Structure 1
């Protein structure tokens, strides 16, 4: 297989499953010679050094990269998941596709003005990381990424729902 065919194959695979990029980046990062800095409050299950403790076992997931390669530091994370312009576009598109009204968001935003922004950022992360997933296919966002989103769009009372395995419970 020549270089052009290999590039074409890789692009085709990434279009079908965007999360493959993370696997490749993890291999590159793990084989690199990055210095590991540690914090005292980093949970034992964290590799990247940016995670914080989470309330449930299911939510105790790390991106798996070393501190220099943590997903929260990637420009794509900043653009796809934390940029207000991108999130505004995504929120508008979602309202349009599902026929949602802004009034429902307005009620939520009385208590938590950042709630819909946080949820849009979570949806964007899942789309970026996993591509399109089905209705009952729920995924956990790594703790470091959850806290980066919460830092950008905080709840004024520090109250967060967390991961729900299913909405139908």
Structure 2
């Protein structure tokens, strides 16, 4: 999905987000915008990954691959080295770098390569799990490139 800049998202009210939040996995939390307040079962590529596992899983964060691909610090370190060789050093804390790399890993795992400046919203459940694993006070949520 190509990125779009929709100013109406910035004015989403908490009640609108709560009404839209149709979580069926049981792990989502409302996010600052409607675009971010989406369940893993609502995103086709992520839902396909969730349902491809041999047993029924309520949430993508329960998939064993999610732990390995998105939360394992050694995998994230290796993925970051690849990122750094292509794009340069990220001037961020370890937590911020791991969180950023984990989001990229989730996209790579579910979509493959998207291309430069192509963004997709990630499910609330996955963002919450990654954020709790690599928390920092500077978290700003999903941002489209300007």
Q: TM-score, normalised by structure 2?
A: 0.72
Change in Cα spacing, 1:94 to 1:88, as seen in structure 2 (3 Å) is same
Report the Cα distance in structure 2 between the residues aligned to 1:95 and 1:134, rounded to whole angstroms: 16
Report the Cα distance in structure 1 between the residues aligned to 2:37 and 2:84, rounded to whole angstroms: 31
> Which sections of structure 2, spanning at least 5 residues, go unmatched?
1-17, 42-46, 51-55
> Which sections of structure 1, spanning at least 5 residues, go unmatched?
1-40
Of 144, 162, 165 in structure 1, the residue corresponding to residue 125 of structure 2 is: 144
Q: Does 1:61 align with 2:38?
A: yes
Of structures 1 and 2, the one scoring higher in RCO (CA 8 A, sep 6+) is: 2
Count residues with an aligned counterpart. Answer: 116
1:53-88 deviation digits (Å, cap 9, x = unpaired): 110011011011699431000000000000011000
Q: TM-score, normalised by structure 1?
A: 0.63
**Of the two, which has the highest radius of gyration?**
1
Report the Cα distance in structure 2 between the residues aligned to 1:134 and 1:94, rounded to whole angstroms: 13
User: SS at 2:40's partner residue?
Assistant: coil
Task: Check the 8 A contact 2:26/2:58 in 1, yes or no.
Answer: no
Q: CA RMSD in A?
A: 2.2
